[in-house]
Amino acid sequence: MLLPLLAAAALLTAGPAGAACNDPAAARVDWRRCLQDGQDLSGADLSGAVLRDASFARGRLVGANLSGAEAPDARFTSADAQGADFSRAVLRGADFTRTRLVDATFIGADLRNARFFRADLTGAKLTGALLAGSDLSTATLDGALWVDGQKRCAAGSVGACQ
């Protein structure tokens, strides 16, 4: 009788551990549904991290590497992510409201249904990014490299690449 209970307990603890929100920033960290609001993660390597429904509101992600991160529905509102690398990241439904994304890289990123209300994408690289359903209506796009990898948005581009 005790053996089946021990086996069941072993199954419950086997496999990958769940999100540990106080784990240090590292590649492949699992911060699913974690609140990292106001944290300074400048230069952090979060490549391949699981950031689903996590919040980085008012945080600093300057020069951070989030390439290949899985971050659908993540919130980056009012954050400073200048020069951050979001290449190949899954950011469907992510909220970048009022986020500073100057010179950020979104090459091959999935940004479908993402929100960029009043975000600053000056000089951002959007080559190959998926933008269907994204709200760029009030985003600053001055000098951004557009999804085709060839067109540079003109100075004064707001809401659309001119």
Using CA atoms, how far apart are residues 153 and 26, in angstroms rounded to an integer?
Answer: 34
Cα end-to-end span (Å), the chain: 72
Q: Are 27 and 46 in contact (CB under 8 A)?
A: yes
Q: Residue 18 has what pLDDT?
A: 55
In angstroms, the CA 146 to CA 45 distance is 25
User: 6: buried, middle or exposed (CB in 10 Å: 19+, 13-18, 0-12)?
Assistant: exposed
The sign of the torsion formed by the CA atoms of 66, 69, 72, 74 equals negative
**Alpha-carbon dihedral sign for residues 113, 98, 103, 84:** negative
Quote the pLDDT of residue 80. 98
Give the CA angle between residues 45, 127, 32 to the nearest 5°: 35
Instruction: Using the predicted structure, report yes or no on whether residue 17 has a pLDDT greater than 90.
Output: no
pLDDT tens-digit series, residues 118-147: 999 999 999 999 999 999 999 999 999 999
User: What is the pLDDT at residue 14?
Assistant: 34
**Which residue is it, tokens 């945080």?**
59
pLDDT in tens, 66-118: 999 999 999 999 999 999 999 999 999 999 999 999 999 999 999 999 999 99
Q: Which two tokens stand for residue 143?
A: 């000098």
The CA-atom distances, in angstroms, between 78 and each of 10, 15, 52, 68 are 43, 36, 18, 22
Two tokens, residue 102: 């100057």
Q: What is the DSSP letter of 13?
A: H
